[in-house]
Amino acid sequence: MFKFVARGINFLLGKSLQNRHIIVSSSLEYLQRKRDLNKNYFDYIRLATLELISEEIRKKKLTGSVAELGVYKGKFARYINLYFKKRKLYLFDTFEGFDERDVNTEKKEGFSSGSQNFSDTSVESVLSLMPFPNNCIPVKGFFPESAANIKDEFIFVSLDADLYEPIYEGLKFFYPLLVPGGYIFVHDFNNDNYPGARKAVEKFCAEENISFVPIPDSAGSAIICK
């Protein structure tokens, strides 16, 4: 019955919805296992892909930590913490918004104005969202300087720093520490408001002769698998 209604919605309103970047579609119809997806996180593709990848990592029995660079208020980090509940989660951020050094590069290269304000956050407010805060390691400061003493191995990393410089530096830092079979999510790869994200991925992948897969989530992430 629900599929019939959904098909009716697509038939009547499909073009209008697509013009608003809203797609009504089925997903993983024949997967039998129960999946834990929060209906309140309004980016199904991003969250569902994270859940699928966490399951692949579990099946491969990979060992290592997880991380996010560009945490902001912790809304995505919350699910990294949930799906990798037994892993250390490093939370890299200034927790004060964009650093002026990165903004200067952004403006110089003509990628973006870097004017978006992400300063309304804090370590305390982010940790309060985490389902397993005892596994979280906040790393406050300018990246990559803030990561100078990190020698861990990683099975999953989310790069959501928006700007060219921290994304490129994030790839240079984390990819060598990524275990074989691990994944890196790069947010905003197909976000035309932050074209530096794409440039950073393309440059790094060309240098390392590796590939990436773009996915159609809200901000157009790219995924790198080692």
Q: How many residues does the chain have?
A: 226
User: In the prediction, which pLDDT does 29 show?
Assistant: 83
Q: Residue 12 — very low, low, confident or very high, per pLDDT cuts 50/70/90?
A: low
The amino acid at 57: I
69 touches 116 (CB < 8 A): no
Can you give the pTM of this predicted structure? 0.93
Q: Is 56 in contact with 35 (CB distance < 8 Å)?
A: no
Tokens of 187: 């947010």
- Quote the pLDDT of residue 8: 59
Domains of the chain: 1-30 (no CATH), 41-225 (3.40.50.150)
Give the pLDDT band (50/70/90) at residue 208.
Answer: very high
The stretch 154-164 carries a mean pLDDT of 98
- What's the confidence (pLDDT) of residue 42? 87
Residues 187-193, mean pLDDT to the nearest whole number: 97
Spell out the residues 6+ positions from residue 100 whose beta carbon is closer than 8 angstroms to its own: none
pLDDT of the residue at 31: 86
97-129 tens-digit pLDDT: 999 999 999 999 999 999 999 999 999 999 999
Tokens of 86: 């037994």
Sign, CA torsion 66/72/76/79: positive
Task: Give one DSSP letter per residue of 4-42, joined into a string.
Answer: HHHHHHHHHHHHHHHHTT-------TT--S-----TTSS
Q: What percent of the chain has pLDDT above 90?
A: 82
- Note the pLDDT of residue 13: 57
HSE, side-chain direction, 13 A CA sphere, residue 187: 22
